[in-house]
Structure 1
């Protein structure tokens, strides 16, 4: 029996094909809020007016098939979303407001899993941030060094992605890889590292060494498809108290495949609940926001 990691998306996360490719490769399945067919308002007209392109989402769902888990964005969920967003924004001590699309991902990550899937005995759902900048805003993160009470860690990995000239070809290949048993095993090992670090108390040096190995195996599985490759940063945000925060940052020589950046939260609690998984959030960003190169081949 297997443990699967699902990434929860927002109503517009199907619009960017490059981000969707990354999410297909990062997660076993994607939890997607879909247009409700039983509603008091004209949902299709509303989605079109908002620029959410329901026809494109339908196309993506047909392509993803079993890789997508649908959640109707119906009146009940919208009411919960509105109440929760208003409460969280009212609790903020500054003028920043929580991004509504991030709230959608967080809400879906917290919902209980009712699906019974063959050979799957446990599911963890993680809010799939598509931008490091968005997660930084919603989690209230500031650069380390500020005189703040709570610390968090942003762990950076550089993952291979197919980089064919046609975006649709990239998505097709990503879905093929996500269904491949060998690739799924390597991806599962990469996620298992997170649980080992948090639950088994691995020393920072051992944890990083294992992550480097697993990241290399993951990237090699993409390279085995023998296509042109691109590179994307993947980030995992952890709460403090995992061994890394107390002993200072690891030396730069740990691996060029990994960068560890320390952050501090602006207040005593996270504004968005991350879900049941140990990592606070998974998200990725195509920009080199932390001085990490994204062009060329894999890091050495």
Structure 2
């Protein structure tokens, strides 16, 4: 696929050349960055979200940058098994195969202390973060088997590594997804299907910036001050951007990491370091 830089020079992405990549959870943050980068790296892509407006806007932006990009978009609630399967089947019918699946769809659920949390909200959070990802995986695996293998990356969170007050439902759902990813990696290795987990921390982009604007207003401070306080705890000294994190996800999903499965890659700029 042709891509042009700011100077109008033609450049060609290679990392996902000739791959069909499915990306869930298209929003203003990581999901959007993943889709844009996947196309730049040569992929044919299929994107889904619960709202058509987000998909339409992203497809417009992709085609503006890469007019010959091949894109399939479909409104999908991944927590609904039938919708997830219909989306995956539409991708396989349109493009003939699926090489990469990136599960980026998520919900944080309500912010509540665990001891008093609404457990129905926890169940709804699990429905999206765990079972939604599993719906996509179970629908995709037969197509990957038929194609001789594939790569699945599940987007997790630093919060499942470092408990954060009031985010228990989110953390528990993602911790379950981490174990499911390892289980699947063990079981599907013989089919040449790799599964890996990515653990972002803070990611600077539209979503985080909007949240900090509101937080700054409530606390009578500035976004710059809030950001500086957070970055004190980050060894690399800066909050990674959505685009920086997308690069690591796309690389992990590619054949450059063909020998890697069952791995947990932390993208918190050193805020969390496993020992």
Q: As a proportion of its length, which structure holds more strand?
A: 1
Q: As a proportion of its length, which structure holds more helix?
A: 2
On whether the aligned pair clears a TM of 0.5, the verdict is no
TM-score by length of 1: 0.33
